[in-house]
């Protein structure tokens, strides 16, 4: 076996992967399991908004001194999204983030808890200690309403 050639190939692969992820930054999340994707999304958001911090409460995602508890809901499909297990009873805000894997773009919507009642959501089940869980799907009405809450990283850091 030619160890030198194997080392060269591995180096080339590493360099190509680095270039690939620089061209398509969300490519690595495509094959993640849902739980790993959710954890990655929280960490990604925290890396972009340093003033926010991981909440230490059970099931609570992120905490902001200005906004309170923020529940993170992420999807890898911005066109036909579904955000599951939305728990309105325990958070002050919800950040819905849709990652466009092909174009390396994220679409973010920061919705106050009180405004969730304006959306058309389906009840999923009861979540122990947090009341009912809901699903928000990509209906035309929901997409139009979400646009009112669109934010950028600059908005969140302002």
Residue 95 to residue 72: CA distance in whole angstroms: 5
Query: For 75, phi and psi rounded to 5 degrees?
Result: -145, 155
Indicate whether 94 and 67 sit together in one domain. Answer: yes
Q: For residue 78, what are its two tokens?
A: 């911005």
CB atoms within 10 A of CB 52: 23
pLDDT digits (tens, 9 = 90+) for 19-59: 887 777 777 788 889 888 988 899 899 999 999 998 766 55
pTM of the model: 0.81
Indicate whether 23 and 39 sit together in one domain. Answer: no
Question: Is residue 66 predicted with pLDDT exceeding 80?
Answer: yes
Indicate whether 14 and 79 sit together in one domain. Answer: no
Q: What is the pLDDT of residue 56?
A: 65
> Pick the residue with more confidence: 157 or 18?
157
Q: What is the pLDDT of residue 116?
A: 93
Indicate whether 80 and 4 sit together in one domain. Answer: no
CATH number at residue 137: 3.40.210
Residue 150 contacts by C-beta under 8 Å, 6 or more apart in sequence?
107, 108, 109
Indicate whether 24 and 36 sit together in one domain. Answer: no
- Are 45 and 97 contacting, i.e. CB atoms less than 8 angstroms apart? yes
Q: How many domains does the chain contain in total?
A: 2
What is the C-alpha R_g of the chain? 18
Indicate whether 129 and 57 sit together in one domain. Answer: yes
Indicate whether 7 and 80 sit together in one domain. Answer: no
Which residues partner with 121 through β-bridges?
Answer: 136
131 confidence band (pLDDT: 50, 70, 90): confident
Indicate whether 38 and 77 sit together in one domain. Answer: yes
Q: Mean pLDDT, to the nearest integer, of 4-14?
A: 93
Range of the domain at 1: 1-28
Indicate whether 63 and 17 sit together in one domain. Answer: no
Indicate whether 16 and 69 sit together in one domain. Answer: no
Question: Is residue 144 predicted with pLDDT exceeding 90?
Answer: yes
Indicate whether 82 and 9 sit together in one domain. Answer: no
């Amino acid at each position: 076996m030619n160890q030198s050639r194997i080392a060269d190939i591995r180096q080339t692969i590493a360099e190509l992967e680095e270039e690939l992820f620089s061209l398509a930054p969300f490519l690595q999340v495509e094959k993640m399991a849902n739980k790993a994707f959710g954890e990655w999304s929280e960490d990604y958001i925290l890396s972009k908004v340093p003033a926010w911090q991981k909440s230490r409460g059970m099931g609570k995602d992120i905490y902001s001194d200005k906004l309170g508890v923020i529940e993170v809901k992420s999807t890898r499909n911005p066109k036909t999204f579904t955000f599951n297990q939305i728990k309105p009873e325990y958070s002050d805000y919800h950040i819905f983030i849709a990652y466009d894997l092909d174009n390396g773009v994220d679409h973010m919507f920061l919705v106050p808890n009180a405004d969730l009642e304006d959306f058309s959501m389906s009840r999923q089940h009861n979540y122990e200690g947090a009341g009912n869980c809901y699903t928000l799907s990509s209906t035309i009405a929901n997409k139009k309403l979400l646009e009112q809450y669109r934010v950028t990283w600059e908005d969140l850091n302002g």
